[in-house]
Amino acid sequence: MSTMTGSEVSLSHSNMSETAKPSHANPQVKGDKSHGGEFGYVGIDAILEQMRRKAMKQGFELNLMVVGQSGLGKSTLMNTLFKSKVSRKSVKPDPEERIPKTIDIKSISHDIEEKGVRMKLTVIDTPGFGDQINNENCWLPIMKFINDQYEAYLQEEINIDRKKRIPDSRVHCCIYFIPPTGHCLRPLDVEFMRRLSKVVNIVPVIAKADTLTLEERDFFKQTIREELRANGIDVYPQKEFDEDAEDRLINDKIREAIPFAVVGSDQEYQVNGKRILGRKTKWGTIEVENIAHCEFAYLRDLLIRTHMQNIKDITSNIHYETYRVRRLNESNGHFSIQPSDHAAVPPKADGQHEEQPAVLQANGVPPQLEVLSHEL
Ligand SMILES: Nc1nc2c(ncn2[C@@H]2O[C@H](COP(=O)(O)OP(=O)(O)O)[C@@H](O)[C@H]2O)c(=O)[nH]1
Ligand SMILES: [Mg+2]
């Protein structure tokens, strides 16, 4: 399994083939340095340009889910994230129907374009999470929604006549909004993240962080990190999926900084001649993209600028794969195939697979994946 991405691939300049004929090996690629006359140049690095062009043509897709109590600023933050109205403002519930029977999960897609790069962003809003008096099992409809998307993908994938590009509605990342209480996580937060972190990438954030003082914020962040650790909750970026020392270095910094204390706003203001997104108060304007004010920029960079491909790769290679193997094992329960030694999915470090069927419990690994995928 590789989570290497096009943008992360770094090919050192080729000196592999001393005998390669250089004369015709200088593809005239836009933006490429001239290698004319350079002996031994094969042009392998031009693959990057090929990948770039292919990716540009296809565009990018990201499916983000936001979860948290109403009023925590989920819609506002999504609007902030993409500086456009990508998500609807929450609607005040009608007093007659204050307790909805089910959580109504809504997806809203937007096509965004920046510097010629197209991106389809889908925000999946889960209004009403944790709003009821009894919040037991309120994670269930969300878990079901996530699994339903995996199922839809699986059904497309196992079709004999499958589409070249399977429509991807899988949830790539779930942003979980923690209320800014300054105390500790609530049992509901722990329960949700403990269960959901096994099926989806979770990025916890402290909502409305402007309500906390700097000391309160640091203390709360530290408390949350300790509680996540104590409860064996592995949020994104998961340590076990770091691929090398460089990954580990970058991701350790992120792990030390989570949960990001964010402030959202879709209002623009003029500050020192610059237009900024902010929240104007009696005592000043909070600039949401200013890292001296809040950590929104860290969240945006993680989701879009530095880790988007990795978030999608982990969804596909780990979370979806785990689901796929479980489903295929279930429907092929009568097969008695010996577990193979080489796993397609690395085992979960915490070994917590209490809700998985026995075949996964043994080693947390899909033993029959290869054989079954051929059967299909
Ligand atoms: N103080 C503060 N208020 C916020 C923040 N983000 C949103 N709000 C306000 O909180 C209210 C609810 O926001 P909304 O985005 O609709 O919350 P949702 O129900 O979670 O989608 C609105 O009045 C927002 O203007 C924030 O970061 N700080
Ligand atoms: Mg909302």
| Residue of 66, 121, 113 whose CA lies nearest to 89 | 66
| Contact 73 CB / ligand 1 (< 6 Å) | yes
Q: Which of 6-15, 32-41, 119-128 reaches the highest mean pLDDT?
A: 119-128
Per-residue pLDDT at 37: 61
Q: Ligand 2 mean position to 71 CA, how many Å?
A: 7
Query: What sections of 167-231 are H helices per DSSP?
Result: 187-196, 214-230
Which numbered atom of ligand 1 lies nearest the CA of 79?
Answer: 15
Number of the ligand closest to the Cα of 208: 1
66: number of Cβ within 10 Å: 24
Per-residue pLDDT at 149: 97
| Contact 75 CB / ligand 1 (< 6 Å) | yes
The DSSP bridge partners found for residue 274 are 271
Compute φ and ψ for 60, nearest 5 degrees.
-120, 150
| Residue of 201, 221, 185, 374 whose CA lies nearest to 294 | 221
Q: Ligand 1 mean position to 202 CA, how many Å?
A: 21
| Contact 74 CB / ligand 1 (< 6 Å) | yes
Q: What DSSP string runs through 215-236?
A: HHHHHHHHHHHHHHHHTT--PS
Q: Stretch 346-352: mean pLDDT, rounded?
A: 43
- Are 287 and 276 a contacting pair, CB within 8 Å? yes
Mean confidence (pLDDT) of the chain: 78
Q: Ligand 1 mean position to 277 CA, how many Å?
A: 14
What percent of the chain stands above pLDDT 70? 73
- Strands (DSSP E) contained in the chain are 60-67, 106-114, 117-125, 173-178, 202-206, 260-261, 268-271, 274-281, 284-287
Per-residue pLDDT at 333: 60
Q: Stretch 2-30: mean pLDDT, rounded?
A: 40
Q: Stretch 65-83: mean pLDDT, rounded?
A: 89
Q: Ligand 1 mean position to 76 CA, how many Å?
A: 6
Rounded Cα distance between 98 and 308, Å, is 36
What lies within 8 Å, CB to CB, of 149 at 6+ separation is 63, 169, 170, 171
Q: Stretch 205-229: mean pLDDT, rounded?
A: 96
Across the beta sheet with 117-125, the strand order is 106-114, 117-125, 60-67, 173-178, 202-206, 260-261
Per-residue pLDDT at 245: 93
Q: Ligand 2 mean position to 112 CA, how many Å?
A: 20
What percent of the chain stands above pLDDT 90? 47
Per-residue pLDDT at 209: 96
Residue type, position 92, single letter: K
| Contact 76 CB / ligand 1 (< 6 Å) | yes
Domains along the chain with CATH numbers: 51-87+97-330 (3.40.50.300)
Pocket test for ligand 1, best of 76, 177, 210, 266 (most atoms within 8 A of CB): 76
Residue 59 confidence (pLDDT) above 50: yes
Higher pLDDT, 303 or 360: 303
Number of the ligand closest to the Cα of 125: 2
Instruction: Tell me which of 128-137, 235-244, 249-258, 342-351 is least confident.
Output: 342-351
Q: Which of 20-29, 186-195, 326-335 reaches the highest mean pLDDT?
A: 186-195
Map tokens 């470090």 to a residue: 349
Number of the ligand closest to the Cα of 69: 1
